[in-house]
Amino acid sequence: MMEFDTIAAISTPSGEGAIAIVRLSGPEAVAIANRLFRAPGSKALADQASHTIHYGHIEDPATKEIAEEVMVALMRAPKTFTREDVVEINCHGGIVSVNRVLSLALRAGARLAEPGEFTKRAFLNGRIDLSQAEAVMDLIRAKTDRAMDVALTQMEGRLSRLISSLRQALLESIAQMEVNIDYPEYDDVEEMTRPMMLEKAQWVQSEIAKLLQTSQQGKILREGLSTVIIGRPNVGKSSLLNSLVQENKAIVTEIAGTTRDIIEEYVNVRGVPLRLVDTAGIRETEDIVERIGVERSRKVLKEADLILYVLNYAEKLTEEDLLLFEAVRDMNYIVVINKTDLPQQIDLDQVKELTSDTRLVTTSLIEEEGIDQLEEAIAELFFEGEIEAGDMTYVSNVRHISLLHQAHQTISDAISAAEMDVPVDMIQIDVTRTWEILGEIIGDTADDGLLNQLFSQFCLGK
Amino acid sequence: MPQYEAGTFDVIVVGAGHAGAEAALASARMGAKTLVLTMNLDMIAFMPCNPSIGGPAKGIVVREIDAMGGAMGRVIDKTHIQMRMLNTAKGPAVRALRAQADKVLYQQEMKRLMEEQENLSLHQGIAEELIVEDGEVKGLITQVGGIYRAETVVITTGTFLRGEIIIGDLRYSSGPNHQQPSIKLAENLEQLGFETVRFKTGTPPRINSNSIDYSKTEIQPGDDVPRAFSFETTEFIMDQMPCWLTYTTSETHQIIDENLHLSPMYSGMAKGTGPRYCPSIEDKIVRFSDKPRHQIFLEPEGRSTREVYVQGLSTSLPEHVQRKLLESIPGLEKADMMRSGYAIEYDAIVPTQLWPTLESKQLTNLYTAGQINGTSGYEEAAGQGLMAGINAAAKVLGKEEVILSRSDAYIGVLIDDLVTKGTSEPYRLLTSRAEYRLLLRHDNADLRLTELGYQLGMITEERYARFLEKKDHIEDEIKRLRGIIIKPNEQTQEAIRNAGGSELKDGIRAADLLKRPEMNYDMIASLTESDIALSDEVKEQVEIHVKYEGYIEKSLQQVDKLKKMENKKIPENIDYDAISGLATEARGKLKEVQPLSIAQATRISGVNPADISILLVYIEQGRIAKV
């Protein structure tokens, strides 16, 4: 549907500009931005005057995580480009964080704008001169065709096949249900029951969830796996850092323009990009906890995708070690027992008990032993499950991710309805919707699919 | 041949089948002076195929027809031999009534209704030629030279246009049930520029009930509670006749295999496109060869006849093979076949040549309805007939045209599909064709359409008053349940325990308690004091409304979006060739369908979102230019 809903898009050219803008236009633009925007101490965005700009953060309403530091420009109708309410979110963090802000806006109720749609609205609302109409039409045509080309290339291969197979599975269930409804006296068509429906829906839900997870992996592939090295002083943290950096090509970046002067280094470990956080701290004091304080370190740990926890082979476990074990519980971590070149003092059984099924690697960084095993462990951790290195099919397109989120929501609705004894044909409403949304992802919206399925799958008629 | 002036009317309806009957009655009830011209007055509302009316989607159409003041529901309520509510174990959206009809009584009752209708004349005669002046229809001429003049004409000729019956290698010109076909009119329509397609349908043999061994079959009784299609019906037929169920055997399948070369469908004799949902038995066995048996329903054709319709055995195999087929079926070993099955081919006009009012795009004041538009089924025909009759009369009476939206009625879905997408096979309504079927229910047809029927003058004051009262009761009761808080006292907890639910921790609104799957309206009513006695229909509405509020709300939001798109009208005189940027396929389709609104345009296959955007921009450009 167009013209009546609120649209959003990244309105700066793609590529790495210094600032990127997510633009929202439509009746809900202010409300949607308000749901995402946090500015400590000042009043809500929705209560601010028109044509003002505000500093704050974009926050994921679900997790309360901060996604981006932003400036938000608020412009109410009619004195705007589209003559609708417009909100422009200025992001600094490059394409990754802009994409994240856009995703959040879409999840908060905006629809991804069609190519040229802001211009079109501007025209439809009388903002653009009549003589420009032809140009607008050409623009729509050209941009749509190009966008479709891009979408098609992205859709090649596994993702498209996977979505098609999910749709086919749903379609078979829908067709069966339709036959139950339209031919109730036909005894040779099995009656679709709630448990059957539930089973199918749960399978589809988990497949969609997996795909959404790969969208996380896609993000990680672009941004790097945020990695923190921890351990007591003198266990060999800086040696580990140096080994990883030397073995792999490191790109050292200094995050400028922020008050934190944390240095990050990117290394590529067997296809997994690691972003090693607070490397400066490790180099200087060897102890992140000591350097940045307990509170900060907790936060750094919490934001990490991977923790490398280093223990000393030549010493018994201390109280501090146990505390760190406590701190990293429930996180992705690998225990590295370093200094195997020295006589063993550590109680390996105790460590194994504490780590339970977490990966454990022994190294002697001085002797350059165990690095391979560590890299192996990192790669395994990342590529666990069915996703194989070198054949990564991940969802990265914002439109696809947004549709997958919608599909996940509708199939979840179907599941909760099925668990609540709602009649099967009502549950089907959400199942059918899921099928339609998945169809939008792969551009298959032919509406005679269901009838074809119905008549080829079942023998019907008088 | 000498011609004479046979009469002048507001509206002429050609044909008196299920479409023609509704068209004529609607037109006359609205106050237009109406003529029905039929080949054979003894064949009014005849059922050439199943002796049954209703079923999923179709039954809801009958309710919709009745809600607007049409006849089908009232007539079947008086003449059925059995009635059942289908899908009772499913949700309210897909429940539907089906009745077995007494074929002869049904015809008689419909004929009587039409004879008694004010403003309506019934004449026997064959329409052969339309009178056309300046692209407008002005009347028609019959086979004996009678000139009938009218402002608008509705053609409802069913499968008669160039009808041909096919049995084995026999093929002869005929209407259904071996009546006269309509050939001159078909030629006339062709000359007038109508594009047609060749469709095919079929019917099974009929046998004598006395020759059936029912002990080898299963009984299929009707419901033992009073049921009715019409909101007006107050007397219910409880003395019902059962149907019977038997199955084909491996022998049946072998006979078909051995004689397949004699089947016109496989020998190449039949060329028309048949419906997939209504295959012949030979089709079923070829396409689903792994199925060991198929169901055969034995349906009595009425109380005054012993003829039985063999549902499931539609065939066009030669007569001697049909006899053998019957003998291979348990219970039918000694069946005495009274009439053989046959296939029939006929011309249908391509329905995208019609406006959503069912008026022809090329010939002003001409309307078509029913099987001639490529549909199949009595209910689909009747629904179109009603709308064509309403619009043909409205035009004469200077009233506004009536187009039902896809969110108003199954009839709206049916007509929109036809005129927007066309059809490549005889079109049958299925529940899956409706996007908003939760809103298009059997139970709320009156709430959806009676207001409209009343405005059109098709609903009596008395019925309308009852309708308004029912509506008030529903609204008041929902409001009451939303306001009352049920406390977790012993009586409440016991009622909930007995229903198998978990006990209340706090007080709860009655409406919220009703939402629990294990609760129903009567349980809630017993926990809240009320002195109003509500009818079962009102209770049902309240329960459905409260229980499925979330789903209904979602559907309404979608409808809201649809309505906004429907309100974006496309100007009548739009020149699609002048719009730069439209894709070639989209341009062609838009020119063919000539959608009235953006909503309709989006449903045309081959028109993609970019084309819609361009169309919107173009329309807006025109609007601005005019200002």
| CB < 8 Å to A145, chain B | 610
- Nearest chain B Cα distance for residue A423, angstroms: 5
Give the mean pLDDT of A82-102. Answer: 82
Which pLDDT belongs to residue A252? 42
Of B551, B71, B130, residue with least CA distance to B365: B130
Is B284 within 8 Å of A425 when comparing Cβ atoms? no
Q: What is the pLDDT of residues A210-251, one digit of tens each?
A: 888 766 655 555 556 778 888 887 788 878 887 887 655 444
Question: Is B321 a residue whose pLDDT tops 80?
Answer: yes
Band of the pLDDT at A133, cuts 50, 70, 90? low
Beta bridge partners of A226: A275
Percent of chain B with pLDDT over 70: 99
Torsion of CA A35, A39, A41, A42, to 10 degrees: -80
| CB < 8 Å to B432, chain A | 174, 178, 181-182, 450-451, 454
Q: What is the pLDDT of residues B90-114, one digit of tens each?
A: 888 899 999 999 999 999 999 999 9
Is A462 within 8 Å of B49 when comparing Cβ atoms? yes
Residue pair B308/B206 in contact (Cβ under 8 Å)? The answer is yes
| CB < 8 Å to B610, chain A | 114, 140-141, 144-145
- Nearest chain B Cα distance for residue A374, angstroms: 52
* Mean pLDDT over the full length of chain A: 75
Residue pair B23/B388 in contact (Cβ under 8 Å)? The answer is yes
Question: Is A361 a residue whose pLDDT tops 70?
Answer: yes
Which pLDDT belongs to residue B423? 92
* Minimum Cα–Cα distance from B605: chain A residue: A446
Is B314 within 8 Å of A462 when comparing Cβ atoms? yes
- Nearest chain A Cα distance for residue B14, angstroms: 29
Continuous segment of H or E residues that includes residue A112: strand A111-112
Is B613 within 8 Å of A117 when comparing Cβ atoms? yes
**Helix, strand, coil percentages in chain B from 3-state DSSP, rounded to 5:** 40, 20, 35
Q: How far is CA B441 from CA B60, B94, B446, B448, in A?
A: 7, 7, 10, 9
Nearest beta carbon to residue B613 from set A114, A429, A461: A114
- Nearest chain B Cα distance for residue A145, angstroms: 9
Is A461 within 8 Å of B277 when comparing Cβ atoms? yes
Q: Name the more confident of B80 and A9.
A: B80
- Nearest chain B Cα distance for residue A436, angstroms: 12
Which pLDDT belongs to residue A44? 87
Least confident of A187-191, B260-264, B505-509, B542-546: A187-191
Is B618 within 8 Å of A133 when comparing Cβ atoms? yes
Q: What is the pLDDT of residues A18-38, one digit of tens each?
A: 678 899 999 999 999 999 999
Nearest beta carbon to residue B610 from set A133, A141, A455: A141
Is B278 within 8 Å of A451 when comparing Cβ atoms? no
Band of the pLDDT at A271, cuts 50, 70, 90? low
- Nearest chain B Cα distance for residue A130, angstroms: 7
Question: Is A330 a residue whose pLDDT tops 80?
Answer: no
Band of the pLDDT at A124, cuts 50, 70, 90? confident
Q: What is the pLDDT of residues B281-304, one digit of tens each?
A: 998 888 888 888 999 999 999 999
Band of the pLDDT at B350, cuts 50, 70, 90? very high
Nearest beta carbon to residue A423 from set B91, B275, B284: B91
- Nearest chain B Cα distance for residue A187, angstroms: 8
* Minimum Cα–Cα distance from A460: chain B residue: B277
Nearest beta carbon to residue B94 from set A2, A126, A425: A425
Least confident of A288-292, A352-356, B546-550: A288-292
Nearest beta carbon to residue A130 from set B517, B568, B624: B624
Nearest beta carbon to residue B277 from set A4, A184, A455: A455
Give the mean pLDDT of A341-353. Answer: 87
ipTM reported for the complex, 2 dp: 0.84
| CB < 8 Å to B543, chain A | none
Question: Is B49 a residue whose pLDDT tops 80?
Answer: yes
Question: Is B615 a residue whose pLDDT tops 80?
Answer: yes
Phi, psi of B199 (to 5 degrees): -110, 165
CA–CA gap between residue B627 and residue B620 (Å, rounded): 11
Burial B178-215 (b: 16+ CB within 10 A, else e): ebebbbebbebbeebebebbebbbbbbbbbebebbeee
Q: What is the pLDDT of residues B146-185, one digit of tens each?
A: 999 999 999 999 989 999 999 988 899 998 888 888 999 9
The pair of three-digit structure tokens given for residue A232, joined into one six-digit string? 């007591």
Q: Is-above-0.90 flag for pTM?
A: no
Of B141, B134, B137, residue with least CA distance to B152: B137
CA–CA gap between residue B487 and residue B290 (Å, rounded): 59
Give the mean pLDDT of B519-528. Answer: 89
Which pLDDT belongs to residue B32? 98
Is B616 within 8 Å of A182 when comparing Cβ atoms? no
* Minimum Cα–Cα distance from A144: chain B residue: B610
Q: Give the end-to-end CA distance of chain B in Å, rounded to a whole number.
A: 58
Nearest beta carbon to residue B276 from set A124, A144, A455: A455
